[in-house]
């Protein structure tokens, strides 16, 4: 692939991800975050399971359901609650705290050293998102804020634990297991 193609594909992921708030608030029925999370995770997980044809071993089921819960079920439910209750800029800023949470959790769970540069980069990212997206009309609903922070913490926990627990399968199979577990939860 050309450099231009790489750049466009790289830009596509955050653009699609960023559309979650717009689609949730403008096109989806309000008040169904659990249903929306299940509909987002389970079909994708089942499709990937069909493609990979690889089921998790029994010994991994607890870890897979915990990771599926953190990375998909809990995260998406809280993401949708935050999207319903907060302006997109506030929700995105709360979500951007995830990088800092990963740094702290990785220190506690993996023994990874905390580097000043990593903390500075994470803080700069949060500040940048806030400056770009939070306007003077930004409301701060307590339930929405709690959901935004909880979603960031859930995904951070899933990210760190995914690094800790590496099954002997392809990343696609590992993702399929987590999506399916998250959708079932």
In the chain, where are the structural domains located? 31-184
Q: Return d(Cα 29, Cα 26) in angstroms, integer.
A: 8
Tell me what pLDDT residue 14 has.
Answer: 67
φ, ψ dihedrals at 15, nearest 5°: -65, -45
Tell me what pLDDT residue 37 has.
Answer: 87
Average pLDDT over residues 83-96: 88
pLDDT grade for 31, boundaries at 50, 70 and 90: confident
Segments in 28-141 forming alpha helices (H): 33-52, 61-68, 75-85, 88-95, 98-110, 116-133
The model's pLDDT over 94-120, given as tens digits with 9 standing for 90+, comes to: 999 999 999 999 999 999 999 999 999
Q: Average pLDDT, whole number, for the chain?
A: 89
Taking the model in full, what pTM does it have? 0.83
pLDDT grade for 88, boundaries at 50, 70 and 90: confident
Average pLDDT over residues 117-136: 88
Of 96, 91, 70, 72, the closest CA to residue 148 belongs to: 91
């Amino acid at each position: 692939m050309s450099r231009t193609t790489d750049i466009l594909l790289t830009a596509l992921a955050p653009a699609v991800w960023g559309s979650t708030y717009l689609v949730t608030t403008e096109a989806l029925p309000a008040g169904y975050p659990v249903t929306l999370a299940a509909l987002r995770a389970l079909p994708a997980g089942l499709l990937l399971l069909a493609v990979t044809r690889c089921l998790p071993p029994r010994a991994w089921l607890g870890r897979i359901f915990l990771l599926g819960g953190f990375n998909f079920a809990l995260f998406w439910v809280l993401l949708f609650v935050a999207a319903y209750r907060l302006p997109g800029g506030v929700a995105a800023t709360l979500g951007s705290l995830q990088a800092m949470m990963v740094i702290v959790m990785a220190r506690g769970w993996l023994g990874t050293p905390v580097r000043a540069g990593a903390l500075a980069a994470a803080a700069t990212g949060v500040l940048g998102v806030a400056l770009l997206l939070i306007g003077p009309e930004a409301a701060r609903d307590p339930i929405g804020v709690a959901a935004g922070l909880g979603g960031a913490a859930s995904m951070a926990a899933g990210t760190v634990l995914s690094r800790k627990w590496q099954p002997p399968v392809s990343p696609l199979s590992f993702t399929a297991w987590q999506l399916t577990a998250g959708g079932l939860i």
